[in-house]
Structure 1
Amino acid sequence: MSAHCQLTGVQPVFGNHVSHSHRRTRRRWSPNIQQRRYWVPSEGRFVKLTLSARAIKTIDKIGIERAVARIRARGERI
């Protein structure tokens, strides 16, 4: 499972971990990615989506139909 959200497109961010002595080493901030299964009534089937926690809240707000339309508008296949 790749660490990117299908709805928002959020991906890991890279930067430095800075220790107390100010030594820097590379690190990565991973998004909170979850796999969710949603029923899409217009298609009569379930779709499995890889979403960030923020995207799950967005789907709760706008609905799965509009969310699927947004994902397809980005050119991603579901």
Structure 2
Amino acid sequence: MSKQCQVLGKRASAGSRVSHSHRKTRRTFSPNLQSKRYWVPSLQRHVTLTVSAKGVKTIDRIGIEAAIARIGRNQATN
């Protein structure tokens, strides 16, 4: 599973782990990625996406068709 949301493009970010004495060591903040299976009526099949929790909410709001169109647009520019 890739460590990037397919809908929003969220990926791991870096920061510092801070101890009680305030010493800092580097760490990564991983996004909350889930593997979700969606039914796409226009394709008449299921599609499995790796999406963040916010990406799931985005798909619920704009719909799976618009989300897949957004994914296709993002991949065309990369």
Q: 1:3-22 alignment to 2 at 5 Å? A: 3-22=3-22
Q: How many residues align?
A: 76
Runs ≥4 residues deviating over 2 A:
none
Matched, 1:2 2:11: no
Q: Which has the higher helix share?
A: 2
**Counterpart residue number, 1:65:** 65
TM-score normalized by the length of structure 2: 0.92
Listed one character per residue, the Cα deviations across residues 51-72 of structure 1 (whole Å, up to 9, x for unaligned) are 0000100111110000000000
TM-score normalized by the length of structure 1: 0.92
What percentage of residue pairs aligned between the two structures are identical?
Answer: 57
1-side partners of 2:48 and 2:54: how far apart? 17
SS in 2 for 1:35: strand
Unpaired stretches in structure 1, ≥5 consecutive residues: none
Give the AA of the match of 2:68: V
Task: State the Cα RMSD in Å.
Answer: 1.0
